[in-house]
């Protein structure tokens, strides 16, 4: 037999099986394209070296490469195994008609070669075209000017070729091994074997229910943002366990219960769906649970990264209320005066025109809820940070004219419930006022759950007392810190000039001072969160594509199996419109069960995620809620489109 | 009373682009009286299956007419066909056509569920039927757990539970061993004795020898027919056998 025969056969086979091969090739192209784009971005030298924070950007993108790489291996091998299962009968027929195993291997090698060439060429071509676009998008997210020019990343090209070439080779080898082992008769029988009805596993269902309930309970009851991080992973693992158990065992329990309900079950609309689902669940439950978890991950990833990115300026407002921030561990007023002198001098030397200047001194103490008059049921285990400032400083910052009586302190923060403040042997009458804006360090952060600002008349005296009390208790307090903030008129490069003047001044005076620029900090955060957002959207798209593909294939393969069932039902008296309705119902359930479960997971995780976001100084819950909602809607929209396409293909197969 | 009347049925299959035409039925006419048990015999390719498919309203003839109790079934709209089949016809197939996803009982209930009947009625109908067909013990089992004979009896129960005008059986013994075949044929005779009209397509001599009348189809036409009269199964068997031999060697002229 000549060589042309095999390549001809291979081409023919691909054409004939286009219904299953086309999505596979499209998915391959998509995956290859995304992988190449990520490589291009991660390996880009300009991005790495020219940009502030470009290094960490590259690290984030490299992580992305690894994730996409692993994903590509699993996804393409899974899809390939599906394809093989579909074609076993056809291959068995070739075998019986006299094509030896060796010849089949040759034919399939040609097929694999065609698929690989087609996907790689198209994928890389699209990748090269779109990488420029993605590059521009990424740079825009990072607030960076977009350079012109078109370049091809050789390293990315080689890495892509190597990885995907390897995957295709692996897929081919696994197919050949499977076919080599099977007898023609087995091949002919293919995937059609009588499946037994799944057993009811009460225990597993119960475990699933408990795990899920527990996970949800944790998510709802954790109050402290500090405790959230640890508990989040516990909750996630519990929910994952719960999801798998409930999808595998719980679904069977529910369906069997439905079947036992005669009045529900023996209805035209429920009869075929319930029994069909029951029959299917055995092989599909794990897949559906996978899809559910994957969808949840996509939704959480995208909504949080979007929130982080949008909230950048909010969080900067908290950490950097002023454009230039100086913090000095200067205990005495004299040091503060020196720092102020340095600032004045630096400003005049740099020629910047100052819009506003603030300076104050503070110290903070951390207490647990049991030591404070706060809500003892909910707030007992939280950590509270008290930041003390003097009345003079507070009035100056906030532009108020508050006064204090003897032994009185003002506590800023509504949640404080009490009329006294007793701390380390110091006793105050407390007057609680509402805060207009959170003063530095009184917002929840990585160290405290709740922050109050305490205004006293003599800061040094209180510091002394509190410190002594703390020594007696064997605890430590922070030193007094001086804060100085400067806002200047935004004229090009002025910030940087002032920054270096300040830096030199501080060095000369030998003050223990930390200076930071808001713009610099901003660039840093933007590159971090922008990178995360980019990756979030990127991976989100990829995972959504994979989810859709997995469902599509699942349904198509079921369509082939269901064809006969529907034929029988038509003979027994099921009308075409009923067939169509039943199919829609069945696919609807398979499609939207995981999505609905994912949305419920997210609803329960919401509180926990907002708590975690507060650690990153994002406290705008509405923003996060909106982001989550929009993400869910977008995802559901994509899902619905795929659902429509799948239902149509499925119907065509069943009707053929 | 005539229950089924088939007049001048003709069926021509045309390939998609109109190139080849194959005449499956050239001119078939016969009628079935109420309570009759008719077997249609013929070799492969004689047009039996085409005929049955048309009678079952699964396929449409090129020309001709079919009347069920005087009403033309060819005039029924596509959307109502399924309901028509469900209410008037019962099917028994060679390969059983049971659904793996349903238990034996649910398989039998299927047409009633599709017809939207209440569950109580289903139970009431099932009980005597299951006893008659000796499947009461396996109602909870699934098709993959029971034997071929049991499967076919389940299929018979499914065909009978709607109390159809006419039971159409397509090679019902084709996939059964001899013991199961005997049992099934006994059941067919029994239900026929109780008044059920049965039309069976087969090329098994044994199956046909249980019928009250045997039609022979050759080249798309009813070529010959034999009435049982009062003879035994064995005698009818012999008569059929002789007829088939004559048919094959071209001895008999069309009546």
Tokens found for residue A387: 């930041």
Q: Please give the order of strands across the beta sheet that includes B197-202.
A: B71-72, B63-68, B2-14, B21-33, B221-227, B213-218, B37-41, B197-202, B166-170, B89-92
A190 band by pLDDT with thresholds 50, 70 and 90: low
Confidence category of residue A417, pLDDT binned at 50, 70, 90: low
Kindly state whether residues A291 and A352 are assigned to the same domain: no
**Residue A405 phi, psi (nearest 5):** -85, 180
Residue A170 clears pLDDT 60, i.e. is over it? yes
CB distance B99–A575 less than 8 Å? no
Radius of gyration (C-alpha) of chain A in whole angstroms: 32
Q: Give the residue-averaged pLDDT of A523-551.
A: 82
CA–CA distance, B146 with B92 (Å, rounded to integer): 17
CB-closest option in A196, A266, A276 to B113: A266
Q: Is A574 on the interface with B (CB under 8 A)?
A: yes
CB distance from A147 to chain B under 8 Å?
Answer: no
Distances A434 to A206, A415, A617 between C-alpha atoms, Å:
48, 9, 20
Nearest CA distance, B157 vs chain A (angstrom): 12
When computed from its CA atoms, the radius of gyration of chain B, rounded to whole angstroms, is 18
pLDDT score, position B255: 46
Using one digit for the tens of pLDDT, what is the confidence trace for A41-91?
888 777 666 666 667 777 778 888 888 888 888 888 888 888 888 788 888
Q: Is B186 on the interface with A (CB under 8 A)?
A: no
Question: B166-170 and A383-390: which strand pairing?
Answer: unpaired
Token pair recorded at residue A589? 């359930």
Spatial CB neighbours of A102, under 8 Å, sequence gap ≥ 6: none
Residues A297 and A346 in one domain: no
Inter-residue contact A410 to A459 (CB < 8 Å): no
Confidence at A321, pLDDT banded by 50, 70, 90: confident
Number of domains in chain A: 3
- What is the Cα–Cα distance from A566 to B88, expressed in whole angstroms? 20
HEC secondary structure over A422-462:
EECCEEEEEEEECCCCCCCCCCCCCCCCEEEEEEECCHHHH
Best mutation target among A256, A264, A566, A572 (most B Cβ atoms within 10 Å) is A572
Query: What does the pLDDT look like over A126-167, one tens digit per residue?
Result: 998 888 888 888 777 777 666 666 677 888 899 999 999 999
Residues whose CB falls within 8 Å of the CB of residue B71, separated by 6 or more in sequence, listed in order: none
User: Are residue A364 and residue A458 in the same domain, yes or no?
Assistant: yes
* Whether residues A169 and A317 fall in one domain: no
pLDDT confidence of residue B229: 83
Chain B residues near residue A263 by CB distance under 8 angstroms = 119
Q: Strand pairing of B63-68 and B37-41?
A: unpaired
Which of A514-528, A589-603, B187-201 shows the lowest per-residue confidence on average (mean pLDDT)? Answer: A514-528
Block residue for tokens 């009923």: A578
Phi, psi of B20 (to 5 degrees): -100, 140
**Cβ-defined contact of A572 to B110 (cutoff 8 Å):** yes
Give Cα separations from A512 to A326, A506, A622, B26, B158 (angstroms). Answer: 10, 8, 40, 109, 92
Average pLDDT over every residue of A473-498 = 76
Q: pTM here? A: 0.75
What mean pLDDT do residues A36-45 have? 85
pLDDT of residue A439: 59
Give the residue among B90, B89, B61 at the shortest CA–CA distance from B75.
B61
Question: B232: helix, coil or strand?
Answer: coil
B chain contacts of residue A279, beta-carbon cutoff 8 Å:
100-101
Contact B100 A279 (CB under 8 A): yes
CB contact (8 A) between residue A578 and residue B114: yes
- What's the mean pLDDT when you consider all of chain A? 81
Residues in chain B: 255
Domain region containing A292? 200-322+517-656
Model confidence at A339, in pLDDT bands (50, 70, 90)? confident
**B144 chain-A contacts, CB cut-off 8 A:** 194, 196
Own/partner pairs for A290-293, CB < 8 Å, 24+ apart? A290/A550, A291/A547, A291/A550, A291/A551, A291/A594, A292/A243, A292/A247, A292/A593, A292/A594, A292/A595, A292/A597, A292/A598, A292/A601, A293/A240, A293/A243, A293/A598
Angstrom distance (rounded) from CA A651 to CA A605: 37
b/e map of B228-237 (b: 16 or more CB within 10 Å)?
A: beeeeeeebb
Q: C-alpha dihedral over A55, A61, A65, A70, to 10 degrees? A: 110
Per the CB < 8 Å rule, is A572 touching B114? yes
Last residue of a domain, one of A175, A193, A211: A193
Indicate if A15 and A156 belong to the same structural domain.
Answer: yes
How far is Cα B93 from Cα B155, in angstroms, rounded to an integer?
8
Residues A521 and A611 in one domain: yes
How much is the average pLDDT of A461-466? 80
* 8 Å CB contact between B65 and B74: yes
Higher pLDDT: A413 or A31? It is: A31
User: Residue A337 CB: number of other CB atoms within 10 A?
Assistant: 13
Give the gap in angstroms from C-alpha B113 to the nearest C-alpha of chain A.
Answer: 5
Q: Helices (H) and strands (E) in chain B — how many of each?
A: 8, 10
Q: Which residues pair with A452 in a beta bridge?
A: A386
The verdict on A389 and A282 lying in the same domain is no
C-alpha distances in angstroms, A329 versus A389, A451, A480, A510? 15, 21, 6, 12
Show which of A468, A485, A516 is a domain's final residue: A516
**Whole-complex ipTM:** 0.80
pLDDT at position B31: 92
A485 with A600, same domain: the answer is no
Given a contact cutoff of 8 angstroms between Cβ atoms, the answer to whether A27 and A543 are in contact is: no
Does A517 have pLDDT greater than 50? yes
Residues B224, A116: Cα–Cα separation, whole Å: 63
Cβ-Cβ contacts under 8 Å, A195 against chain B: 100
Percent share of chain A, pLDDT over 70 = 88
Q: How many CB atoms lie within 10 A of CB A45?
A: 11
Instruction: Name which of A130, A136, A167, A137 is nearest A152 in CA terms.
Output: A130
Contact B203, B94 (CB under 8 A): no
Between A310-319, A636-645, B30-39, B113-122, the lowest mean confidence (pLDDT) is in A310-319
Do A78 and A97 reside in the same domain of the chain?
yes
Asked if B56's CB is within 8 angstroms of A572's CB, the reply is: no
For an interface test with A, give the residue of B79, B93, B99, B158 to mutate (most A CBs within 10 A). Answer: B99
Q: Is the pLDDT of residue A558 over 60?
A: yes
Interface A-B: count of C-beta contacts within 8 A: 76
Which residues 6+ apart lie within 8 Å of A284 measured at CB? Answer: A554, A590
Q: pLDDT tens per residue, chain B (255 residues)?
A: 888 999 999 988 887 666 678 888 888 999 999 999 999 998 777 788 888 888 888 888 999 999 988 888 888 887 788 888 888 889 898 888 888 888 999 999 998 988 888 889 999 999 999 998 989 999 999 888 888 899 999 999 999 999 998 999 988 888 888 899 999 999 999 999 999 999 999 888 889 999 999 998 888 888 888 888 888 888 889 988 888 888 778 655 544
pLDDT(A209) > 90: yes
Contact A268 B142 (CB under 8 A): no
Q: How far apart are CA B34 and CA B39, in angstroms?
A: 14
Confirm or reject contact between A493 and chain B (CB < 8 A): no
Dist. CA B11–CA B61, nearest whole Å: 5
Q: Are residues A152 and A229 in the same domain?
A: no
Among B100, B121, B140, most A C-beta atoms within 10 A, so best to mutate, is B100
Contacts of B115 in chain A (CB under 8 A): 573
CB burial of residue A28 (10 Å; 0-12, 13-18, 19+): buried
Put simply, whether B146 touches A (Cβ < 8 Å) is no
- Verify that A179 and A210 share a domain, yes or no: no
Query: Can you count the helices (H) and strands (E) in chain A?
Result: 20, 9
- Written as six digits, the tokens of A25 are 């090739």
Contacts of A252 in chain B (CB under 8 A): none
Q: Are residues A386 and A258 in the same domain?
A: no
In 3D space, the residue among A138, A168, A133 whose CA is nearest the CA of residue A32 turns out to be A168
C-alpha–C-alpha distance, residues A30 and A25, integer Å? 9
Q: Where among A193, A228, A249 does a domain terminate?
A: A193
Give the torsion sign (CA, A123, A129, A131, A133). negative
């Amino acid at each position: 037999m000549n060589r042309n025969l095999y390549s001809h056969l291979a081409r023919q086979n691909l054409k004939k099986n286009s219904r299953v091969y086309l999505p596979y090739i499209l998915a391959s192209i998509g995956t290859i394209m995304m992988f190449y784009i990520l490589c291009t971005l991660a390996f880009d030298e300009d991005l790495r070296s020219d940009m502030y924070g470009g290094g960490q950007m590259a690290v984030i993108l490299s992580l992305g490469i690894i994730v996409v790489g692993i994903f590509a291996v699993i996804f393409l091998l899974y899809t390939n195994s599906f394809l093989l299962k579909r074609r076993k009968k056809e291959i068995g027929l070739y075998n019986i008609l006299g094509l030896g195993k060796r010849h089949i291997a040759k034919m399939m090698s040609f097929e694999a070669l065609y698929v690989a060439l087609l996907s790689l060429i198209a994928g890389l071509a699209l990748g090269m075209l779109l990488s420029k676009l993605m590059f521009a998008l990424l740079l825009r997210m990072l607030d960076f000017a977009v350079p012109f020019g078109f370049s091809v990343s050789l390293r990315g090209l080689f890495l892509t070729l190597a990885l995907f070439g390897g995957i295709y080779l692996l897929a081919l080898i696994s197919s050949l091994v499977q076919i080599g082992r099977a007898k023609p008769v087995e091949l002919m029988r293919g995937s059609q074997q009588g499946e037994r009805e799944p057993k009811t596993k009460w225990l597993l269902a119960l475990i699933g229910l408990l795990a899920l309930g527990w996970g949800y309970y944790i998510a709802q009851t954790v109050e402290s943002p500090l405790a959230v991080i640890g508990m989040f992973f516990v909750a996630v693992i519990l929910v994952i366990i719960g999801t798998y158990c409930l999808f595998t065992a719980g679904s069977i329990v529910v369906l069997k219960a439905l079947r036992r309900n005669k009045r529900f079950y023996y209805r035209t609309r429920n009869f075929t769906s319930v029994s069909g689902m029951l029959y299917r669940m055995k092989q599909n439950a794990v897949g559906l649970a996978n899809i559910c978890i994957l969808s949840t991950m996509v939704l959480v990833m995208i909504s949080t990264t979007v929130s982080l990115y949008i909230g950048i300026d909010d969080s900067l407002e908290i950490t950097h209320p002023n454009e230039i921030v100086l913090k000095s561990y200067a205990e005495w007023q004299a040091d503060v005066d020196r720092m102020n002198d340095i600032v004045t001098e630096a400003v005049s030397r740099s020629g910047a025109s100052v819009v506003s200047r603030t300076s104050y001194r503070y110290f903070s103490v951390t207490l647990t809820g049991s030591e404070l008059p706060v809500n003892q049921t909910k707030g007992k285990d939280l950590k509270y940070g008290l930041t003390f400032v003097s009345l003079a400083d507070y009035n100056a910052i906030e532009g108020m004219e508050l006064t204090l009586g003897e032994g009185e302190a003002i506590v800023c923060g509504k949640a404080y419930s009490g009329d006294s403040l007793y701390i380390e042997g110091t006793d105050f009458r407390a007057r609680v006022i509402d805060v207009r804006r959170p003063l530095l360090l009184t917002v929840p952060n990585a160290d405290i759950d709740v922050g109050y600002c305490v205004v006293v008349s003599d800061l040094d005296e209180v510091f002394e007392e509190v410190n002594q009390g703390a020594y007696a208790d064997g605890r430590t307090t922070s030193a007094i810190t001086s804060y100085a903030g400067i806002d200047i008129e935004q004229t090009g490069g002025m910030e940087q000039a002032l920054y270096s003047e300040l830096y030199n001044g501080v060095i000369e005076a030998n003050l223990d001072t930390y200076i930071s620029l808001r713009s610099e900090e901003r660039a840093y955060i933007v590159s971090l969160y922008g990178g995360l957002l980019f990756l979030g959207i990127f991976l989100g798209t990829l995972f959504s594509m994979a989810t859709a593909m997995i469902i599509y294939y699942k349904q198509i393969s079921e369509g082939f199996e269901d064809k006969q069932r529907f034929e029988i039902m038509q003979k027994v008296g099921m009308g075409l419109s009923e067939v169509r309705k039943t199919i829609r119902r069945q696919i609807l359930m398979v499609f939207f069960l995981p999505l609905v479960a994912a949305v419920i997971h997210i609803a329960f995780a919401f509180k926990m995620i907002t708590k975690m976001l507060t650690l990153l100084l994002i406290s705008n819950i509405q923003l996060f809620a909106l982001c989550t909602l929009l993400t869910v809607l977008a995802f559901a929209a994509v899902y619905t489109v795929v659902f429509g396409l799948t239902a149509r293909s499925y119907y065509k197969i069943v009707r053929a | 009373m005539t229950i089924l009347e088939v007049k001048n049925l003709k069926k021509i299959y045309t390939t998609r682009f109109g190139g080849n035409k194959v005449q499956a039925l050239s001119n078939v006419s016969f009628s079935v009286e109420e309570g009759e048990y008719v077997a249609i015999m013929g070799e492969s390719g004689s047009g039996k299956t085409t005929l049955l498919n048309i009678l079952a309203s699964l396929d449409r003839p090129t020309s001709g007419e079919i009347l069920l109790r005087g009403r033309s079934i060819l005039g029924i709209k596509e959307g109502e066909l399924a309901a028509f089949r469900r209410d008037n016809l019962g099917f028994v197939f060679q390969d059983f056509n049971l659904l793996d996803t349903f238990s034996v009982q649910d398989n039998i209930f299927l047409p009633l569920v599709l017809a939207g009947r209440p569950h109580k009625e289903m139970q009431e109908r099932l009980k005597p039927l299951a006893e008659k067909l000796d499947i009461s013990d396996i109602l909870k089992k699934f098709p993959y757990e029971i034997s071929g004979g049991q499967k076919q009896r389940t299929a018979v129960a499914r065909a009978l539970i709607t109390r159809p005008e006419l039971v159409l059986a397509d090679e019902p013994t084709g996939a059964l061993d001899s013991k199961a075949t005997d049992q099934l044929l006994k059941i067919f005779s029994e239900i026929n004795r109780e008044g059920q009209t049965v039309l069976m397509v087969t090329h098994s001599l044994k199956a046909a020898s249980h019928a009250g009348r045997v039609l022979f189809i050759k080249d798309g036409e009813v070529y010959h027919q034999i009435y049982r009269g009062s003879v035994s199964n064995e005698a009818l068997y012999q008569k059929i056998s002789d007829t088939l031999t004559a048919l094959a060697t071209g001895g008999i002229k069309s009546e």
